[in-house]
Homo-oligomer: A and B are copies of this chain.
Amino acid sequence: MTIKYAILGVLSRNPQTGYDLKRILFDSQAFCCSDDGNLIYKTIIQLLKEGLVVNEAKKQADLPTKKTWFITESGLSELKKWVVSTPEPPQIINSFFVRLASADLLEGSELNELLERYENEIRMQILIQQEKARRVNRDIKSAKCSTNFWNAITERVMSIYENELQWIGELKGVHGKSINGGNLI
């Protein structure tokens, strides 16, 4: 349930609408969720029930009522309590590892193609993350966050992808040799 604390974290700086929350969290690299998971609306109703947030509704002529969400005192203390609680280690979830574990079923050319395609996926991710980083900068300015930690997160995410690229490069190297040089398998 990290989305709960992600929402509280944003609201601790500035009140936001659900829509803005969604944009800020989706752009953020700290909280990786799907774009069209309107989980935010669901979660915020839950936070309301728990008394951690309140809202101020503004009727708009033709648009749906715009609700601006505020964190409560108890929300703030719950957030802080969680932030200082024992942190979990990162989860390393990479289905590519599962593919690689069966890679000796493949012929040399198939393996090469797989590695190449994965490399491209990573390159694509790097572009996406760069775009996100650009947006995050815009968002956190308007949300009045201190940039220190957000920058550290961005750097870490980028470095993971870049290290992945390097790793896959080395794998390609080893494999390339085994094709022209000598059979490793």
Restricting to A1-38, which residues have a CB under 8 Å from any CB of B?
Answer: 2, 5-6, 8-9, 12, 28-32
Known contacts A8-B102, A91-B91, A103-B149; 12 further A-B pairs (Cβ under 8 A) = A12-B102, A28-B101, A79-B102, A84-B110, A86-B121, A97-B156, A101-B145, A101-B153, A148-B174, A152-B167, A160-B163, A163-B163
Contact with B along A114-156 (1 / 0, CB 8 A): 1001100110110000000000000000000110111011011
Report chain B residues within 8 Å CB of A94: 90-91
Instruction: Scan A98-118; emit 1 where CB is below 8 A from any B CB, else 0.
Output: 111111111000100110011
Please name 28 pairs of A and B residues whose Cβ atoms are closer than 8 Å in the assembled complex, sorted by A. A5-B102, A12-B102, A12-B105, A28-B101, A30-B100, A31-B97, A76-B105, A80-B102, A83-B103, A83-B105, A83-B106, A84-B113, A87-B95, A87-B96, A88-B95, A88-B96, A88-B121, A89-B121, A90-B164, A91-B94, A92-B160, A100-B152, A101-B153, A103-B149, A104-B146, A146-B185, A159-B163, A160-B160
Whether, in the assembled complex, A93 has its beta carbon less than 8 Å from a beta carbon of chain B, the answer is yes
User: What is the minimal beta-carbon distance from A113 to any residue of chain B, in angstroms?
Assistant: 7
From B79, B92, B113, B121, give the contact of A157 (CB < 8 A). B92
- Chain A, interface SS category: helix
Q: Copy number of this protein in the oligomer?
A: 2
Which residues of A in the span 45-98 have a Cβ within 8 Å of any Cβ on B?
A: 76, 79-80, 82-84, 86-98
Known: A80-B105, A117-B86. Is A32-B91 also a contact (CB below 8 A)? yes
Is A171 close to B, CB under 8 A? Answer: yes
